[in-house]
Amino acid sequence: MNFELTEEHKMIRDAARDFAQTELLPGVIERDEKQHFPKELVKKMGDLGFLGIMVDPKYGGSGMDTISYVLIMEELSKIDASASVIVSVNNSLVCYGLEAYGSEEQKQKYLTKLATGEFVGAFCLSEPEAGSDATSQKTTAIDKGDHYLLNGTKNWITNGGRADIYLVIAQTDRDKGHKGINVFIVEKDMEGFHVGPKEDKLGIRGSDTHTLQFNDVKVPKENRIADDGFGFKFAMKTLSGGRIGIAAQALGIASGAYELALKYSKERKAFGTEISNHQAIAFKLADMYTDIEAARMLVMKAAFDKDQGANYDTSSAMAKLKASDVAMKHTVEAVQIHGGNGFVKEYHVERLMRDAKITQIYEGTSEIQKIVISRSVLRD
């Protein structure tokens, strides 16, 4: 057992911290207010290798491990969870899915651009009537010989209006249930593909969330990923890794709020002393620190499992469940420690509190993580 980061991991963490402080922090309040997608910053994150963190360098990636990915996600999320969700989706849902299951031709054509940040990707599973219940897809892809004809609606799609490449999960044979589901690469310029209005959200307002419409989109046969019928398993396997990214995002939001609350509590005076000298505040800080460290252990364990080639379906679900609850609980406490100042934008904690909520919802709600964990506990 070794709880120490390597020198290389510390360097990666510090580089991400530095980028978050110098590049993400300056405009974060304005981007949140205006729902402004950070296009220029996405380019810079691509240049730093943050959009293809775990991708093999032969496809243009940074060739780092999952621990590095978690460290980068945590540091970015301390400052701007809207920027970090772009990183998370591109890395663990799109790049991972293509690298693990795509053909060599698909990797050369798409992964090389996604890993460098030349392209941004989106992952399209959810539908108006199929969120948690992901096998009840209504989007269809009918085999027409040399192509599939894609029809349907996907909603809540992150990077929806900004992506170049969309991985779309659709039914090819309803009678086969989840074994009749496939995944397709759709390019933004394909005829019949439409981007709906942008969602006006509570949090992660700088990220871009849209409903997408597919009306008779002709998807070439070679754009189906993996064997016929593998689409649902593709989604589940990809999401197991994605949940590590979102757990790290939640960890970052919680740590960011904790660091701000700690600093504020040592500066703000009430009743003749710093508020950190009041035990009620000191105990809040103790609880925050303890819960954040507990969440960190679970996030690191899931990343470690993935790097070791062990099964990480359950450890990633546990990490996401715990870290997202810690983020929600302690961003509320960080606002409380800031008193009235916590309620205004310039102190940042109200944004972190709003951003925390989504980590309990996307990439599988907390209830869904409990289904995954309890099935594993009962099975094993």
Among 135, 213, 277, 376, binds ligand CAA (CB under 6 A): 135
| Length reported for the chain | 380
Residues that bind ligand FAD (CB under 6 A): 89, 123-126, 131-132, 156-158, 201, 204, 209, 358, 361-365, 367-368
Interface with ligand CAA, residue 368, by CB under 6 A = yes
SS3 1: coil
Total chain residues near ligand CAA (CB under 6 A)? 23
SS3 167: strand
Catalytic hit among 127, 333, 350, 363: 363
Distance of CA 276 to the CA centre of its chain: 34
Short-list 204, 82, 191, CA closest to 147: 191
Q: Is 118 a catalytic residue?
A: no
Distance of CA 67 to the CA centre of its chain: 15
Among 119, 123, 148, 214, binds ligand CAA (CB under 6 A): 123
Tell me how many degrees the CA angle 242-54-195 measures, rounded to the nearest 5: 50
Which one of ligand CAA, ligand FAD, none interacts with residue 367, CB within 5 to 8 A by kind?
Answer: ligand FAD
Q: Quote the longest CA-to-CA distance of the chain.
A: 79
Nearer to ligand FAD, 150 or 157 (CB): 157
Nearer to ligand CAA, 13 or 154 (CB): 154
Task: Report, in Å, the least distance between residue 363 CB and ligand FAD.
Answer: 6
> What is the bridge-based pairing of β-strands 269-270 and 147-158?
unpaired
Interface with ligand CAA, residue 362, by CB under 6 A = yes
Tokens of 359: 């980590």
Among 147, 188, 198, 237, binds ligand CAA (CB under 6 A): 237
Interface with ligand CAA, residue 226, by CB under 6 A = no
Short-list 110, 83, 82, 84, CA closest to 96: 110
Nearer to ligand FAD, 150 or 281 (CB): 150
245-284 residues in contact with ligand CAA (CB under 6 A) are none
What residues form DSSP beta bridges with 123? 167
Active site residues: 363
